[in-house]
Amino acid sequence: MSSHPAPVVTPPVGFYQRGLEKAQAVMDQALADSTRDRQDAAAAELQSWLSGAGAGTTLLDASPEDLLVYLEEWWLPNHPGRKQEAAGPQAVKGVLSALSGWFSRAGRVGPFDPVSRTGNPCECPWVSDYRKGYTRLQMVGGYEEVSAVPMTEEKYGHLCQYLLDQAASATDVADTLTSLRDLLCVQFMFQSTYRGYDVGKLALGDFCHPDYPDRADWRLPLPPPQEWPPGATYRLCIRERGTKTSRVQRAPAVYLQSNPTCPARCFPRTLALYMWRARQPDADGFQVVDHLFRPLRPNRLAFKEEPLSSSALGARVRRHLHAAGLYEGETNHSFRRGALQAAAQQGLDESALKALGQIRSSAVLARYTDPTRHVGPQKKRQRSG
C-alpha cells in the first residue's frame, strides 16, 4: 500500500490575524464587563498620576514603590470614605485588586522581581504588608465594616407600588418601559435574593418551564395581563447562567409565583406587561430579544442590546427611593439582606435560608440575617445607651 504525502493547503490570506481576533473575543469573556471597566479605570488613574510625576514611568515598568507612593500621595487623599473619612480597608483592597488584574492582562504576571523589575508590582511583600497594615491601623482607629441597610418588606411593597404607578401614569414609551424594567428588577432582587449584577444580566434564555427545568419556557412571552382569564396565575422558573455563586453552570432554580392580591409585587404580571408593551408599534427598538433588562440609548429611542450594569441599576433604585420619599441609605444589596431577614422572621430554618440565598457558609448567612450589622459602632452604642 503506497503512502501519499498529505496535500498542502495554503491558508487564506489574513487567517492568522482573524484567528487572533476570534481568540481575543473568547478571552474577553473571561471577565465581566464591569470588572474590566473597573480595572481599566484604576489603571488609567494610576497612569495619569505617573505621567504627572514626570519620571517617565509607565504602567509597563511601574514598581511596588511607585504603587505605595501613589496610594499615599494621591489615591487616599482623593478617595475618601463615607462622611469624608479615610477610605476603608475594602476600598484599598479593591483598587489594588483592580490594578493587579490590569497588570496581569497586560502581561505583567507572577511575583515582582526587584532585580529584573518584571512581574506584577501588586504581587510583592511590600504591597501585601501595606494592605494588611492599613487594615490594622483602620481597625485600631475604630473602623468597622457595616453591611447594606436591609430593605424591609413594607418599604419593598411601597417601592413596587410607586414604580407601578409611575409606569401607569407615563405618557412616553421610554418612561413607561424603564419604570416597568426597574419594577421587575426590584421584584426579582427581593423575591430571588439575587445580587444586582446577576439581576442586570438576566436573559430570556434563563427562563425554564417550571415543570421541566431542563427545557426553555415555551410559554414566553406571556399574554398581557388584560387578556388573562379571571383567576389565572403563572408560575415561572429561572435558572440563570454564570451567577457569582454558580459561575460555570446554571444556578439552582428560582420559582416566582403570581400574586393576584398584590399586582405591584407580581413578577409574572409585570413581565407580561413589560414584554407586551415593548412589542407595540410605537416601541420599535425596545422589544426584548435576549437580555431582559437593558440601558437606554442616549437618544431614549431604544434600549441598547447589553445588560443593565449593577451601578446603573443602583443609581435607578436610589433615584426612585428618593422620589418616593423612602430612601434611608439602601443599595442593590439591601434587597438580598432584607429578603433573607424577612424569611428568617417568617420561620425558615437555616437550611431553607441557605437555599434561598444560595449560601453555603453558616457564618455568611449569620451576617445576612443579623438585623443590626448595617448599624455603625457609634450608633449601636447610642441605641444601647
- Write down the pLDDT at residue 101: 94
For residue 27, the tally of other CB atoms under 10 A from its CB is 11
- CA gyration radius for the chain? 25
**Is the Cα torsion angle 91, 97, 100, 105 positive or negative in sign?**
negative
pLDDT-based confidence at 2, cuts 50/70/90?
A: low
pLDDT exceeds 90 at position 372: no
Residue in 115, 110, 98, 121 with CA at minimum distance from that of residue 45 = 98
CB 191 within 8 A of CB 267: yes
Residue in 383, 336, 223 with CA at minimum distance from that of residue 344 = 336
pLDDT exceeds 90 at position 176: yes
Measure CA 180 to chain center.
19
125-140 and 89-105 helices cross at what angle (nearest 10)?
160
Which domains occur in the chain, in start order?
15-140 (1.10.150.130), 153-369 (1.10.443.10)
- Write down the pLDDT at residue 168: 97
pLDDT exceeds 80 at position 281: yes
CB 151 within 8 A of CB 335: yes
Measure CA 297 to chain center.
20
- Write down the pLDDT at residue 380: 45
The model's pTM is: 0.68
pLDDT-based confidence at 246, cuts 50/70/90?
A: low
The one-letter amino acid code at 25 reads A
**pLDDT tens, 11-27?**
677 778 888 888 887 87
pLDDT exceeds 60 at position 269: yes
pLDDT exceeds 80 at position 265: yes
CA dihedral 237, 248, 182, 354 (to 10 degrees): 70
Q: How far apart are CA 245 and CA 239, in angstroms?
A: 12
pLDDT exceeds 50 at position 384: no
Helix (H) or strand (E) segment spanning residue 207: strand 207-209
**pLDDT tens, 349-363?**
888 888 888 888 888
- Write down the pLDDT at residue 382: 42
Over residues 271-288, the mean pLDDT reads: 96
CB 199 within 8 A of CB 314: no
Over residues 44-65, the mean pLDDT reads: 94
Q: In what order do the strands lie in the sheet with 207-209?
A: 212-216, 207-209, 235-238, 254-257
Q: How far apart are CA 61 and CA 103, in angstroms?
A: 10
Cell of 76: 487616599
Exposed, middle or buried by CB within 10 Å (0-12, 13-18, 19+), for 120?
buried
Q: How far apart are CA 108 and CA 111, in angstroms?
A: 9
**Helix, strand, coil content of the chain in percent (nearest 5):** 55, 5, 40
**pLDDT tens, 144-170?**
656 678 999 999 999 999 999 999 999
Cell of 29: 469573556
